[in-house]
Amino acid sequence: MPKSTADATALGLGVDRSSPVPLYYQLAQQLEAAIADGRLAAGGLLGNEVELAARLGLSRPTVRQAIQSLVDKGLLVRRRGVGTQVLHSKVSRPLELSSLYDDLEAAGRHPSTTVLTNVPRPATAAVAAALGVTEGTEVRYIERLREADGEPLALLRNHLPAGLLDLSGERPAATGLYRMMRGAGITLHSARQTVGARLATADEAGPLGESEGAALLTMERTTFDDTGRAVEFASHLYRASRYAFDFQLLVR
């Protein structure tokens, strides 16, 4: 059952008519902030557009435009017979050498992992080049579905040098690979990383809870330890509706 309807007054919603910022955008930003800090909890109902417009002294088209902008971002969803419902806030991750598992915990989310594949396999040319081994060398391949608060977020595909980590039993489902590496005495030093985007295939869309052709963010990363050894080649897929990378740009 959906949670109770949000109250505009309790949320502190209001607009500044003297501001050059469009009214719909002001409202959308306030609603997005309320979702991010938990005042608008996942599963809760936003309320009727007419009532919200009346309480804020706004036109219904202005409120509708604000709500639609958050629907487009994947923060709200319109459900027939239910109303406008709050989804989980998008995970915003800094672009740095860190583990998704650790980042989710730090953000107050509850990560969980389902191991889909965990097998030895011969390295392809691309994997061999990344890990600095000969093509055909046996490496460990592990594919996992990472969830945040029970909702699918990312499909994680990793190739590791054979024998680098003990990936037996339930360990890969209990924590992140970087935490396991640190526990094994491996000091992570640097990485080469490429971020992109593409559309989901049918095989990828299913586990992620998306439709075939949905937008996905992609990340390929080769990680090195403090001796210069490649310890991981990752190829990850993230739901664009639930995930974003943050960049910090410096003026040169």
The model's pLDDT over 98-141, given as tens digits with 9 standing for 90+, comes to: 677 777 777 777 888 999 999 999 999 999 999 999 999 999 99
Name the range with the highest mean pLDDT among 50-59, 89-98, 193-202: 193-202
The structure tokens 């594919």 sit at 143
The predicted model gives 149-155 an average pLDDT of: 88
The predicted model gives 231-242 an average pLDDT of: 90
pLDDT band at 251 (very low <50, low <70, confident <90, very high): low
Percent with pLDDT over 70 in the chain: 87
Query: What pLDDT, on the 0 to 100 scale, is given for residue 47?
Result: 73
Is 3.40.50.300 the CATH classification of the domain at 23-86? Answer: no
Query: What pLDDT, on the 0 to 100 scale, is given for residue 247?
Result: 55
> Which residues touch 222 (CB under 8 Å, ≥6 apart)?
130, 131, 191, 192, 193, 230, 232, 233, 234
Domain ranges (residues) in the chain:
23-86, 91-246
Residue type, 107: A
pLDDT in tens, 65-77: 988 888 877 778 8
pLDDT in tens, 3-38: 445 555 566 777 888 888 888 888 888 888 887 777
CATH class entry, domain 91-246: alpha beta
Query: What pLDDT, on the 0 to 100 scale, is given for residue 2?
Result: 46
Report whether pLDDT(231) > 90: yes
Nearest in space to 170 (alpha carbons), one of 105, 235, 114: 114
Query: What pLDDT, on the 0 to 100 scale, is given for residue 1?
Result: 43
pTM of the model: 0.62
What DSSP string runs through the chain?
---PBP-TTTTT----TTSSS-HHHHHHHHHHHHHHTTSS-TT-B---HHHHHHHHT--HHHHHHHHHHHHHTTSEEEETTTEEEE-PPPEEEESSS--HHHHHHHTT--EEEEEEEEEEEE--HHHHHHHT--TT-EEEEEEEEEEETTEEEEEEEEEEETTSS---TTHHHHS-HHHHHHHTT--EEEEEEEEEEEEPPHHHHHHHT--TT-EEEEEEEEEEETTS-EEEEEEEEEETTTEEEE------
Judge whether 23-86 and 91-246 match in fold: no
Question: Do residues 154 and 113 lie in contact, with contact meaning Cβ atoms separated by under 8 Å?
Answer: no
Query: What pLDDT, on the 0 to 100 scale, is given for residue 32?
Result: 83
pLDDT in tens, 161-200: 999 999 988 889 988 899 899 999 999 888 888 889 999 9
Query: What pLDDT, on the 0 to 100 scale, is given for residue 216?
Result: 92
More confident residue, 197 or 91: 197
